[in-house]
Amino acid sequence: MKPTILSIGNATKDNFLDIQNQKIYKDELNDFHYDLTFDDSTLNYQKQAGVYGGTILSEKIFTAAHFKAFSSANPNGTSHFEYDEINSNLIDRFIVSYKGKSFILTSNPRSTKWVSPAFPPDLIYIADANFSQNYLADFKKYLRENPKIELVFNIADLIPELAHEFFIRANLVFVDFRKQNLSDLIDYSSYENAIDSLIKTGVRGVVIFDGSKIIAGNKEKIASIETNFELNSFYQNNIFQAAFVAENFSNSSKLEENLQVAVTIANKSDFNDILKPFYAHQILNRKNYELPVDVLSNTPDIETRLHKTAAKLVMRPKGIFAADESGGNIHKKFETIGLEDTFENRRAYREMFFKTPDIENYLSGIILFEETTEQNTSEGINFVKYLKNRGILVGVKLDGGLQPLTGFEGETISLGLDSLIEKLQKYSKAGIDFAKWRVAFEIDEEKGTPSEAAIASNLRVLAQYAKACQNYGIVPIVEPEVVYSGKHTIKQCREVTEKILKKLFEELEMFKVDLKGTILKTNMVLAGSENEIQSSSREVARETVSIFKKIVPKELAGIVFLSGGQTTTQATDNLQEITNLGPFDWGLTYSYARALQMPALQAWAGKPENVQQAQLLFLERVAANSHALYKN
């Protein structure tokens, strides 16, 4: 969602004067001077008058980019505002240019009053910093009253004391590399160091002007572009600055494109008309229009990488294939087809799925068992590398399985925390993108399970695992499964699932786990497999979604469902009904194992000649579940 933007400062009426050569002379010290006598000779200037500038210019640009925008001149954000109505409050400015350099000739700032906008904006863009003292005092008071407002400004426009004061609120700042303002704070030894020193102050984005070069950077990337503003450098720089703000807050992840669009808007605008972003994008798509961008560095920080990976994993229409069966589980599957459980058979079984044509169109990620990360294709290519080359993110199951919870009959605790850090060190170096950890709870009314002790101890393990994963840049999938087998009703499943999820998010919060870089893998709410009354898909969807809306924080990256013993069609039908109740605040998809594998496993039966038929069945199930992510 785009932020609301308020442009502040003076509203101006700008007159552009292009100095002729005959107006330049040298004094006895050989210094250049400008003849700025305003008499009849000014008729020799190339003059463009009546151009609105300052806050009016930036408000127009933000509005054209479809932001909710308003300004000091138009504090109510009135559509199609007639700026002629405030003509008496406009400041006349003369912008004098000679050979690309511009200078502003204007009077002292008027004693304009700060007018609070109709509602607090998300961002305040300081379009013109020629503040009167009264205006500045009231503006600072407004900021104190609205502590969540962030600022965007050009450091060169502010006195050092004010720039320092505003840094605590800064989201995006502009810097003149040649002026080297605030050298006590900014390391001007290189573009990269200047941007890094500003990012460390809490600023999220930086744009540097250095002659004809513009450099933009954030925590993740630094890129540069060459400009050639031939109309008027002052005017076009102001357009670029506001246009880049608009593009940055429309899509902050596309740094290079934002630079290109903003420069194109500035290049193609004239004094009477500012190019709209829509047309700038069309121009950039022309084959004969080139505007190269150089990427100076591209090193995503851990937080950004976590958020991007998590978002990609749950992006519709793709799901996650859980190919992480432990030794015991895969042994049982092989018994059903009469196949010996050997290292080579397990490798061939995985390869059959991983080499299925077109799965990258339906799968965002695949979870591997630890053994599988060391295995290769029949051509000798490691599975991790092979999948990544197909554009599929790779995860690994990190829990060590379940063991009985001492003192609590029929309940379990997950193992593996003692070796977790060692594994994370290994897999972060191997390029693993995400991980999964499962804990399990059985509902048994007679035994009183799951107990509070089992819930608390297992969810504490999940939270510790999640935090450790994020410290190594690996997205954690937390899986607190309420097991499908049992006689419990759908109501009992709902009560237990709700209790577990509520406690889970309390634990995650306590361990300061970043929810934007976390995925929940959970069961659907449905009656146990041994209950005489089985749940309909609509019941499953209604009960499941009601818990999510009540318990799951909006910040969570996404939710993925386990199939948990449901039949292949049952898992797909239930997913479809859940989708029909959307949209949701989080990404939502599937992370099935058996519901995707079983038809293919039976068709394969361990025979090479059956691989192609098995792959077709696997692709059919993957595609069916991806289609179920759209409402029908």
Coil, strand, or helix at residue 497? helix
Residue 278 neighbours by CB under 8 Å, 6+ apart = none
- CA-nearest of 629, 502, 522, 625 to 578 is 629
- The two beta strands, 293-298 and 558-561, are unpaired
Count CB-CB contacts under 10 A for residue 470. 21
Task: With beta carbons less than 8 A apart as the criterion, state whether 518 and 507 touch.
Answer: no
Task: With beta carbons less than 8 A apart as the criterion, state whether 362 and 318 touch.
Answer: yes
Task: With beta carbons less than 8 A apart as the criterion, state whether 455 and 507 touch.
Answer: no
Going from the C-alpha of 405 to that of each of 408, 415, 441, 480, the distances in angstroms are 6, 11, 11, 16
Task: With beta carbons less than 8 A apart as the criterion, state whether 354 and 383 touch.
Answer: yes
Active site residues: 521
- CA-nearest of 197, 267, 284 to 232 is 267
d(CA 485, CA 530): 7
Task: With beta carbons less than 8 A apart as the criterion, state whether 177 and 191 touch.
Answer: yes
Helical (H) or strand (E) element with 95: strand 91-98
Distance of CA 467 to the CA centre of its chain: 20
Going from the C-alpha of 337 to that of each of 329, 341, 594, 603, 616, the distances in angstroms are 13, 11, 14, 9, 19
Residue 592 corresponds to which amino acid?
Y
**φ/ψ of residue 453, rounded to 5:** -65, -45
Coil, strand, or helix at residue 25? strand
- CA-nearest of 313, 418, 424, 432 to 372 is 432
Task: With beta carbons less than 8 A apart as the criterion, state whether 13 and 128 touch.
Answer: no
**φ/ψ of residue 383, rounded to 5:** -60, -40
Coil, strand, or helix at residue 338? coil
Task: With beta carbons less than 8 A apart as the criterion, state whether 411 and 451 touch.
Answer: yes
Q: At what angle do helices 343-354 and 594-604 cross, to 10 degrees?
A: 110
